[in-house]
Structure 1
């Protein structure tokens, strides 16, 4: 009975990812039960409820559980402090952790199946391959039937495609034999990424490649790689127009306000949920960067509560304090303490995939929204469970 349910949940999770690739926002914004029960959210909630009886306590991740416990505490506090009438805004902001809670329970349960655990990295690769394949097929459609240049504009088929690009690029670097073939295939994926129109996608791929060189290099060569990375970042941010345009100024202004807000809370505390992400003065300054046009991304009304600072980790810290980021990444410390993992292709592949997603999430609103956050949590928890499995100790740190 347990095996059938776990296999059924795994199938539903795979189906959910297929829907995210194929239908994107049409799927995540499909309301099943008004006002805010969306198809994707209901799917995750149902899977989590079915998985609870099969939760493996020996496979707990204590720092992650502490993170989610703090988030739930702030959620309850927010209901009392801001009133039940603001429940929709409060819950929408809470879902930056809510999606993680659902997928933590789901991943813990499905990883009890040895076949799934053994082949997890392969399944993740198939997801990345599916994303890149869909985008490759979409490029000629844009060119031939839409009549537009498919590159350097926002032509991604669905938001989760970018995450798949990072995954396949990481898999190529780690698993493809032969330097020439490896670099050719990575270049192909990079060219495909140009059709997403996201500068942070290109940056994430560059960081993945440099991280790969860093891990594979000798100690002396790592110094050269690090210096090259530093110089490269300075050149990119100074000479490439898209990294100095109004969008970057908007982000930097918002990030400055967010950091000051976190500092005013002594870094430890947060403001809870149901809050404005920016002060009125900051919102006024942000709006002044754009002309007052119908399609201008100016912030007003409910957007004050829904427009996050385009850095998912800053959003986390605003809500529940800076320790949330520490608790989030603490379980992967084993990668740095056990040198053998740097030669383990499975661990390296998942780690590089996570690096790309982290960089991308640090420049965009990713974990706050359902469109692509699921795969971040899936890869993170899968990596943690794999690390624990390979060193032969429970993951409950």
Structure 2
């Protein structure tokens, strides 16, 4: 009789990889598969794995600087439920960012004890390679059906595929030897990102080449490259229509509105919690009058002021718990600066891959609603915590 024996200390790692693979292969068919009521399959599995991780918890938290984010988010959640119990559905929808973050944090605390960091890196690379193949297959299928259009909006196999292609570009830049093949393949990946229907995906891949140069060259060259990168990004914004269209202007106005709340009303310290609408009715009518947007008009879309965050997941973080507490999330990013300054001492190819992967992902996250949704958030946090674990092992 055949039996499949899985080592207990690897079970949670396999479950984590299973959920992320499900997101890649089935997309919203997995993340939005309704089990009962408003409980979805992805969320159910994630909660079960999280609770299972807690049963074997060793009373030790990696990255303790992140604990205030967890505690504050649950404190604001309790306060919001107490103040507005009638809006419990909206409250938990707004809390999703912190739910996925906390679950990922607790699971990683468990799996990092028993799983070599190289396993996480190999899995991230596997997701990246699979994303490219799936996207090519997606385009080939539509071409065979006669409805092939590379410039359609949302032109991707699954939401995680977009992120995988960004990470694949990082993989090419770090692990391939310098030469024609490397730059042709990177150019191919850059071109593939143009077919996804998101200009921000192209931008996320585009900046990786300059980030790699910043990591590897001398201090003087860093200044030159940084200046060139800024000029190149300004040129992209000016000359590529997607960066100056109505959607981009709408996004900038929404960011300015949110940041005014974060810094002016809450002094950069307090958060709004989870019971406030993202946009006021007055702001909704302002967008309608200036840009003909009805997204926040209650008579047209009555719930969207509560359910449509800022198309920048980092601003969502600051909005809910405050700017200063939210900055704790960026501690691993600060360590990138230290690594670059002392690269000769710390050089590690896997680390540079994770730096590029997280940088590209962060560009994508800062221009879209990503961490608030289940479709790819778990993968983002896997890359984030894997790099954080690298810093820990390197004593950075």
TM-score (norm 2): 0.92
Contact 1:165 1:189 (8 Å CA) reproduced: yes
Distance 1:168 1:79 in 2: 41
Contact kept, 8 Å, 1:290 with 1:297, in 2: the verdict is no
CA contact (8 A) 1:156 1:196 kept: yes
Task: List alignment gaps of at least 5 residues for structure 1.
Answer: none
Distance 1:342 1:151 in 2: 42
Shift of 1:27: 1.4
Match of 2:331 in 1: 330
For residues 28 and 287 of structure 1, the distance between their equivalents in structure 2, rounded to whole angstroms, comes to: 32
Paired position in structure 2 for 1:313: 314
1:279–1:297 distance in 2 versus 1, CA, 3 Å: closer
RMSD over aligned Cα, in angstroms? 2.0
Given the alignment, which residue of 340, 350, 375 partners 1:371? Answer: 375
SS at match of 2:373: coil
| Structure 2 CA distance for aligned equivalents of residues 318 and 71 of structure 1 | 11
Map of 1:128-143 to 2, 5 A cutoff?
128-143=128-143
1:62 Cα shift?
A: 1.1
Matches within 5 A, 1:29-108: 29-34=32-37, 36-83=38-85, 85-108=86-109
What is the CA-CA distance between 1:33 and the residue it aligns to?
2.1
Partner of 2:117: 117
CA contact (8 A) 2:173 2:186 kept: yes
SS at match of 2:159: coil
> How much has 1:290 moved relative to structure 2?
5.4
Q: Which residue number corresponds to residue 26 of structure 1?
A: 29
CA–CA separation in structure 2 for the residues paired with 1:175 and 1:304? 44
What is the deviation of 1:130? 1.1
Question: How far 1:333 moved relative to its partner?
Answer: 3.3
Q: Give 1:57 shift.
A: 4.2
Structure-to-structure mapping, 1:175-254, within 5 angstroms:
175-254=175-254
Secondary structure of the structure 2 residue equivalent to 1:32: strand
C-alpha distance in 2 between matches for 1:150 and 1:354: 26
Deviations 1:158-196, CA, capped at 9 Å, x for gaps: 111111011111111111112322211111211221221
Q: Which runs of 5+ in 2 are unaligned?
A: 1-5
Instruction: Tell me what 1:388 maps to.
Output: 392
- Mapped contact 1:127–1:164 kept (Cα < 8 A): yes
Q: Write the distance in 2 (CA, Å) between the matches of 1:18 and 1:257.
A: 37
- Contact 1:139/1:195 (<8 A) preserved: no
In 2, Cα distance between equivalents of 1:234 and 1:152: 24
SS at match of 2:35: strand
Matched, 1:5 2:8: yes
1:262/1:291 Cα in 2 relative to 1: closer, same or farther (>3 Å)?
closer
Aligned positions, number: 385
Q: Which residue of 2 aligns with 1:348?
A: 352
Give the TM-score, by structure 1 length. 0.92
Q: Distance in 2 between matches of 1:382 and 1:55?
A: 19
Q: Which residue of 2 aligns with 1:169?
A: 169
Please name the residue that 2:269 is paired with.
268
Deviation at 1:52, TM superposition (A): 1.1
8 Å CA contact retained: 1:190, 1:202? yes
1:384 match: secondary structure: helix
- Alignment partners' CA distance in 2, 1:60 and 1:79: 29
* Separation in 2, partners of 1:303, 1:249: 19
Distance change (3 Å), C-alpha of 1:77 and 1:59: closer
Runs of 4+ off more than 6 Å: none
Deviates more, 1:52-61 or 1:324-333: 52-61
Partner SS state of residue 250, structure 2? helix
Shift of 1:266: 0.4
CA apart distance, 1:41: 0.5
